[in-house]
């Protein structure tokens, strides 16, 4: 197994450009850098039938969302819907960094996409971001008729930290007896906020050579949690420690072969299957953690987005 040529070229380009690990960059500088990088590395944005920015009531005040429509609302018609949680280590990312991904999924899966601009750490620590994601799920379910979606066909989709939030939101909704989730898509989520020593890939691939390091994970944890000793093994923080995954929705789990999270992603898929949950696991063996977002420079990103869109379209057919 070796890095594909595009991924290797990207890593070399970043090194030559003076790339610094996340844990060595101030938060505000990182936020601006991720926005610039996401736009620079993205494939051209697709046009969609319509977009609408709205604010809904969230537990911390107004919660921004963006609705992407693939077709006009019709009387009596209801589209399946994917609620999208962006990645970014729980402290980066927004509606703009993943706009191209949402547009692609909207058009190619043939469904409504609703992106959620959840509150970020360190200004808003756990459980603020998770509460926003759950609030968005509840809002979509409660307002399905008004927004023209089918509340029985709700998928949750997320990459990286957004993937973590997908799993945590599924667990929280199960715990609360909340809205049903029909399908979950998790793209290289970090499923534990511990040091992850039970998963060899954390240390083997977390050297910093492959975009993200074990020191970065510790940095994310410190930003996200208020009481590490109490919270770090909470299944809503580290979903890998949930007692079981019974009654969670069918899943598509996507990983990258050179991602420190690859072992826990594979483990999650195996545990889902063991608990009777229908799951498809796909590893893009020759690339790194952010490939799904960087579809303009890494073909695997295009392939990953196509896999998600095809899977959602077929599931909701």
- Among the listed residues 94, 259, 263, 295, the single catalytic one is 259
Contacts 24+ apart (CB under 8 A), 268-274: 268/167, 268/186, 268/189, 268/191, 268/239, 268/240, 271/245, 272/245, 272/248
Instruction: Report the distance separating Cα 154 and Cα 180, nearest Å.
Output: 8
Instruction: Report the distance separating Cα 19 and Cα 12, nearest Å.
Output: 10
- Among the listed residues 86, 100, 289, 295, the single catalytic one is 289
Q: Cα dihedral angle (27, 59, 131, 138), rounded to 10 degrees?
A: -130
Query: Is 289 a known active-site residue?
Result: yes
For residue 122, the number of C-alpha atoms closer than 13 Å in the C-beta half-sphere is: 12
DSSP state of 241: G
- 3-class SS at 69? strand
Instruction: Report the distance separating Cα 277 and Cα 179, nearest Å.
Output: 18
Query: Is 259 a known active-site residue?
Result: yes
Strand partners, 309: none
CA distances from 170 to 131, 134, 138, 179, 236 (A): 12, 9, 12, 9, 9
Backbone angles phi, psi at 181, to 5 degrees: -110, 125
Query: Is 86 a known active-site residue?
Result: no
- Among the listed residues 141, 160, 168, 201, the single catalytic one is 160
C-beta separation of 87 from 157 below 8 A: no
Which residues neighbour 245 within 8 Å (Cβ) at sequence distance 6 or greater? 271, 272, 275, 277
DSSP state of 44: P
Residues labelled as active-site residues: 160, 259, 289
């Amino acid at each position: 197994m070796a890095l594909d040529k595009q991924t290797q070229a990207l890593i070399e380009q970043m090194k030559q450009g003076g790339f610094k690990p996340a844990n060595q960059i101030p938060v505000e500088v990182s936020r601006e850098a991720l926005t610039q990088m996401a736009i620079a590395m993205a494939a051209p944005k697709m046009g969609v039938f319509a977009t609408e920015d709205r604010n809904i009531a969230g537990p911390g005040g107004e919660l921004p969302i963006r609705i992407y429509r693939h077709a006009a609302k019709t009387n009596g018609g209801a589209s399946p819907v994917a609620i999208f949680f962006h990645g970014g280590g729980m402290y980066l990312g927004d509606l703009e960094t993943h706009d191209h991904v949402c547009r692609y999924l909207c058009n190619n899966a043939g469904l409504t996409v609703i992106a959620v601009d959840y509150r970020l750490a360190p200004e808003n620590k756990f459980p603020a971001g998770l509460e926003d994601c759950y609030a968005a799920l509840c809002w979509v379910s409660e307002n399905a008729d008004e927004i023209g979606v089918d509340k029985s066909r709700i998928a949750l989709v997320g990459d990286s930290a957004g993937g973590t939030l997908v799993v945590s939101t599924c667990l929280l909704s199960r715990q609360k007896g909340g809205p049903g989730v029909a399908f979950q898509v998790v793209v290289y989520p970090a499923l534990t906020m511990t040091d992850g020593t039970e998963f060899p890939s954390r240390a083997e691939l977390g050297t910093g050579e492959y975009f993200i390091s074990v020191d970065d994970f510790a940095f994310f944890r410190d930003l996200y949690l208020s009481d590490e000793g109490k919270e770090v093994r909470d299944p809503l923080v580290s979903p890998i420690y949930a007692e079981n995954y019974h009654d969670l929705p069918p899943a598509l789990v996507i990983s990258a072969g050179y991602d420190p999270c690859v072992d826990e992603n594979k483990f999650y898929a195996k545990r889902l299957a063991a608990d009777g949950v229908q799951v498809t696991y796909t590893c893009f063996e020759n690339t790194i953690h952010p490939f799904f977002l960087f579809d303009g420079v890494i073909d695997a990103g295009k392939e990953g987005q196509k896999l998600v869109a095809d899977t959602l379209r077929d599931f909701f057919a």
